[in-house]
């Protein structure tokens, strides 16, 4: 590649290889996997030329960014075009076309993307599962163990091989410690959609289902130190944070979500989010609570785990 025809061409070719920036401008759109009109986000299946010229899959998540207070006056003044659309009594609507610097889009790239990544973002019908502990042991756990969804990126963070500069707080205790980092969904420009993740140091707790009274010190550390770190760094008090675990989680290394209470974060719904304080109280009430209680979650029609439940007539 060192003797490519021109510097520009060389840069583009190199771009698809490991270590180089992703060639966003060369993406060919295959299809829109999902378009969230409410959230102004699009999940896109695209392809870029791979090292040997063959098309390679990528998932692009495009998301428009929230308004920032300090930009609003400028936005109203600096628009390049303004069109009146409708008018009725005291109400009128306009289309306004702001300059690029006030129109930031957050783009998340998954590259190379596997079929699994594409499926993950594809819009699907959803089914509710009521998973008993027996279901977990007989269906869910064997399924999780049979999958090899890589969580290398989690280990990279815990080992400071990636994102070390993004760590907001760390408790290094191998048993009761954790690392707090901003979630990828948050661009950190405004507090309205504040979103952080606490990743536990130990690697033997997959999800809520594994939790027992043994984990109370770990969970208390996450609750207390996480709140305190967010208050110190971002000035947001604990009473304005929604702190919860997902079940099912999207990856099986225990983690806790911290989101701004006023932010209607995706996945904060009752059929997925379990408030950390409720988890603590349930474990205090009964050390084996999560090995007894049925848990509800939703699965999309294409998720292999749903098929497992269907095969044994549990859906």
Binding site as annotated, residues for substrate: 153, 163, 183, 185, 246-257
**44 binds a second copy per the rule CB under 8 A:** yes
- Give yes or no: 255 in active site: yes
Looking at residues 276 to 295 of the shown chain, list those that interact with a second copy (rule: CB under 8 A): 277-278, 281, 285-286, 292-294
Tell me whether strands 55-64 and 105-110 are parallel, antiparallel or unpaired: antiparallel
Out of 8, 174, 270, 313, the residue judged to bind a second copy by CB under 8 A:
270
Q: Minimum distance from CB of 65 to a second copy (Å)?
A: 7
Annotate 21-87 with DSSP letters as a single string. Answer: PP-GGGPEEEEEEEEETTTTEEEEEEEEE-TTS-EEEEEEEEEEPPP-GGGHHHHHHH-SEEEEEEE
Looking at residues 127 to 166 of the shown chain, list those that interact with a second copy (rule: CB under 8 A): 127-130, 150, 152-153, 156-157, 162-163, 166
Q: Minimum distance from CB of 132 to a second copy (Å)?
A: 10
Residues 45, 215, 255, 274: which is the catalytic one?
255
**91 binds a second copy per the rule CB under 8 A:** yes
**87 binds a second copy per the rule CB under 8 A:** yes
Tokens describing residue 159? 């080992």
Query: Can you say whether the dihedral through the CA atoms of 16, 20, 26, 27 is positive or negative?
Result: positive
First to last CA, the chain: 54
Query: Element (H or E) spanning 285, and its range?
Result: helix 276-285
Other C-beta atoms lying within 10 Å of the C-beta of residue 271: 13
68/303 Cα distance (integer angstroms)? 37
Nearest residue (CB) to a second copy, 168 versus 173: 168
C-beta separation of 46 from 131 below 8 A:
no
Annotated binding-site positions:
153, 163, 183, 185, 246-257
Nearest residue (CB) to a second copy, 173 versus 228: 228
Q: Minimum distance from CB of 169 to a second copy (Å)?
A: 18
Cis peptide before 135 (omega within 30 of 0): no
Q: Minimum distance from CB of 242 to a second copy (Å)?
A: 6
Task: Give the bridge partners for 256, in sequence order.
Answer: 198
45/60 Cα distance (integer angstroms)? 6
**25 binds a second copy per the rule CB under 8 A:** yes
Looking at residues 191 to 230 of the shown chain, list those that interact with a second copy (rule: CB under 8 A): 192-193
Tokens describing residue 273? 């989010």
223/219 Cα distance (integer angstroms)? 6
Q: Minimum distance from CB of 175 to a second copy (Å)?
A: 25
Looking at residues 100 to 129 of the shown chain, list those that interact with a second copy (rule: CB under 8 A): 100-113, 123, 125-129
Out of 274, 283, 305, 308, the residue judged to bind a second copy by CB under 8 A:
274
Out of 9, 11, 95, 203, the residue judged to bind a second copy by CB under 8 A:
95
Nearest residue (CB) to a second copy, 198 versus 260: 260
C-beta separation of 218 from 175 below 8 A:
yes
Nearest residue (CB) to a second copy, 50 versus 66: 66
Catalytic residues: 255
């Amino acid at each position: 590649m060192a003797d490519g025809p021109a510097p520009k061409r060389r840069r583009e070719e190199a771009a698809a290889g490991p270590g180089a920036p992703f060639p966003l401008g060369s993406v060919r759109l295959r299809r829109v996997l999902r378009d969230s009109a409410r959230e102004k986000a699009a999940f896109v299946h695209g392809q870029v030329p791979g090292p040997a010229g063959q098309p390679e899959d990528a998932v692009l998540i495009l998301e428009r960014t929230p308004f920032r207070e300090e930009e609003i006056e400028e936005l109203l003044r600096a628009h390049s075009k303004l069109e009146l659309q409708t008018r009725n009594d005291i109400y009128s609507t306009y289309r306004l076309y702001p300059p690029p610097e006030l129109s930031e889009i957050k783009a998340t790239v998954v590259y190379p993307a596997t079929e699994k990544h594409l499926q993950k973002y594809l819009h699907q019908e959803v089914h509710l599962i009521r998973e008993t502990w027996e279901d977990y042991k007989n269906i869910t756990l064997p399924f999780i163990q049979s999958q090899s969804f890589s969580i290398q990126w989690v280990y990279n963070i815990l080992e400071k091989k990636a994102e070390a500069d993004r760590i907001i707080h760390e408790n290094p205790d191998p048993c009761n410690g954790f690392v707090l980092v901003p979630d990828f969904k948050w661009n950190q420009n405004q507090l309205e959609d504040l979103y952080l993740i606490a990743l536990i140091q130990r690697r033997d707790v997959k999800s809520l289902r594994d939790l027992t009274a043994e984990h109370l010190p770990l969970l208390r550390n996450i609750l207390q130190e996480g709140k305190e770190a967010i208050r110190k760094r971002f000035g947001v008090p604990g009473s304005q944070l929604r702190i919860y675990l997902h079940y099912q989680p999207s990856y099986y290394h225990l983690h806790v979500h911290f989101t701004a209470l006023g932010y209607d974060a995706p996945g904060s719904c009752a059929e997925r989010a379990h408030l950390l304080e409720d988890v603590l109280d349930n474990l205090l009430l009964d050390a084996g609570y999560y090995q007894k209680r049925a848990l509800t979650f939703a699965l999309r029609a294409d998720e292999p785990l749903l098929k497992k439940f269907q095969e044994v007539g549990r859906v």
